[in-house]
Amino acid sequence: MFKILKDKSSFTLFQESSLQVLKDGWLVGAAVLGVPAKATIKEANSESFVVKTLDRKTLWEMQTPQIIKPELLKKGFELVNREGLEVTDDVSIVEHLKHPVYITEGSYTNIKVTTPDDLLLAERILNIEES
């Protein structure tokens, strides 16, 4: 059995890649959809000055769903609670266990719908895919 984790406040368009991430999660124990970063990402200091530019070739934007074996997630939550770790998403919990997390390539049209602008974009994507 696996846990399929999604942000409860958002909706993600279901695509073929969602099936592949399920398979990858089954094989590895933890997998997440992601797309290669397109934007230039800068690291900045507390005064908003650029410290460095991160190498886009190694950066991925995470998407949902995130697939994690329940026993890994349980161990991860225990570790996070015991050590007071800060995590930004569910697979980062697994990262703290030093367990591999596989990135299954998703699609740039697999957007999270959390704002009115996102909803407009999702409607456009659906209209294009239906025609």
Distant-in-sequence, close-in-space partners of 71: CB < 8 Å, separation ≥ 6: none
The CATH H-level superfamily of 3-130 is Spore Coat Polysaccharide Biosynthesis Protein SpsA; Chain A (3.90.550.10)
- Predicted pLDDT of residue 15: 64
- Which sequence spans correspond to the domains of the chain? 3-130
* Residue 2 binned pLDDT confidence (cut-offs 50, 70, 90): very low
- Predicted pLDDT of residue 96: 96
- Predicted pLDDT of residue 1: 44
84-121: per-residue pLDDT in tens? 999 999 999 999 999 999 999 998 888 877 888 988 88
- Predicted pLDDT of residue 42: 98
CA distance 52 to 30: 30
- Predicted pLDDT of residue 3: 43
HSE on the CB side for 103, CA within 13 Å? 15
Which pTM was predicted? 0.79
CA distance 25 to 43: 31
- Cα torsion 24, 28, 32, 38 to 10°: value is -90
Number of H helices, E strands in the chain: 4, 8
8-57: per-residue pLDDT in tens? 544 455 567 788 999 999 999 999 999 999 999 999 999 999 999 999 99
- Predicted pLDDT of residue 4: 47
Q: Pick from 122, 1, 118, 18: which is nearest to 63 by CA?
A: 18
